[in-house]
Each structure stands twice: as structure tokens, then as C-alpha cells.
Amino acid sequence: MQYIILIFILLASMLFYSSHIFSQVKDIVARPNDTTNKEAANAAISKALSRTEIQNLLRNLAKSPVPPINKEPGAMCYKVAAPADRIEYVCPIDGSKTLYTDVAAYTIDRDLRSVRCIIKGLNNPSITLDESEFCRKCHPKMEHPRLALVIKYSDDKKPLRIEGIYTQDAETIRELLSGSLIHQGNYDEQTPLKDYIKRLEDIFDVKAE
């Protein structure tokens, strides 16, 4: 009788572990699109862009439903630092230095750092950042320097240059190319990315329709 009970316990244990393993395998098999979608998004970001592809992205965004969003800003666990009132800009091309003590210092301190990071993270051969206006050696007569993007479409021989680029512009570009429907603000507040279609159309020089 004891042997029968022991065998019963062993069989029950085997069934339990088999069921547990099967459920894990089933869960893994059921989620392949998570990785596939991320890989597809990364592939879309890192390849040369065409005007047609950008138009399709904008058109799909315009037709997309408004996603669930969090309008409440996140809690701030740090004190916002005061903007720099003077900053030394170092040209990435020739290493020359330019001292700024006006509004350009704020642009360099806040926007330039973040835009650099975002555009570099795109790793896209079609989109490059042009910050040469901040270099007095490259542009000795420039009074009001601005950040610019240069976009080289695969179906257009002439490069497109867009001046006056800020952090939010770079963020919405990244979100559009990654297939996101949501724009994530500075303090985690969210807004529908389709609210920025007009600005994206101006940046890419492409109309959604």
C-alpha cells in the first residue's frame, strides 16, 4: 500500500512539473512578436529613409486612434538646476572654443546635449545634426546660432536642411520612426504623438496626405 501511495505522489509531481514547463514554453512561443516588433523598429530606424516611407509613417499616425495616455506629470525627485549663464562651446570639427553668455548658452546647455544624444541614438544614415552655427570659427558672423538637422532621402538627391531644432523635435522624430503613438514629455506626462504631425511635416518637408 505504501508503494502505491509513493508511486501516486511521484506521478502527481511529474504531471505538475510537466504542466509548469509546458506553460512556460507556451508563454514564450506566444510572445515572439514583442522581439520581432522591436527588431523591425530598430531596422526601420537604422536604414536610409525615403520621402515615401516618411509619408506612410505620417499618414498612419494621422489615422491612428488616440492611445490611452497619462496626462499627469511624474513626481520630481530632484531639484531642477538653473540654466547655465555662460558656457564654452567646443566645435566637434576643429576643436575651437567659443564662449557664450546669452540665450545660446541655454540652448547649448539643454538642447544641444539632448539632441546630440537622441540623433546619435537613431543611428540613421539619413539624419545628421549640424551644430556648426555655434562655432565662431566656422560661422564668424553668426549672431543667433541654431541647431539644424540635415536629412538625406534615398529618393532625393538634394539634402534637406532644417534650422531651429529643439529637444522636443528630436524626441518626436525618434518616436515617429520607432512606431510610437505617444510623446513622452520631460516629466513623464504623455500626449498623443499625432498632436505633433504639423511640426513633423515641417521637419521632414513631407505632408501626411
Q: What tens digit of pLDDT does each residue of 24-50 get?
A: 433 333 333 334 334 435 555 568 899
- Whether 37 maps to a domain, the answer reads no
What's the alpha-carbon Rg for the chain, to the nearest Å? 25
CA distance 105 to 94: 20
Residue 186 has pLDDT above 90, yes or no: no
The tally of domains found in the chain comes to 1
Domain that holds residue 70: 49-204
How far, CA to CA in Å, does 136 sit from each of 86, 112, 133, 145, 161?
16, 16, 7, 10, 20
- Whether 74 maps to a domain, the answer reads yes
Q: What tens digit of pLDDT does each residue of 136-177 get?
A: 999 998 888 999 999 999 998 899 999 999 999 999 999 999
- Whether 189 maps to a domain, the answer reads yes
Q: Among the listed ranges 51-55, 79-83, 136-140, which one has the minimum average pLDDT value?
A: 79-83
- Whether 73 maps to a domain, the answer reads yes
- Whether 142 maps to a domain, the answer reads yes
pTM of the complete model? 0.72
- Whether 12 maps to a domain, the answer reads no
Residue 79 has pLDDT above 90, yes or no: no
How far, CA to CA in Å, does 188 sit from each of 69, 146, 173, 175, 185?
10, 27, 17, 14, 5
How far does CA 203 lie from the centroid of its chain? Answer: 15
- Whether 27 maps to a domain, the answer reads no
- Whether 26 maps to a domain, the answer reads no
Encode burial over 48-70: b for 16+ CB neighbours within 10 A, e otherwise: ebebebbbebbeebeeeeeeeee
Question: What is the percent of the chain where pLDDT is above 90?
Answer: 53
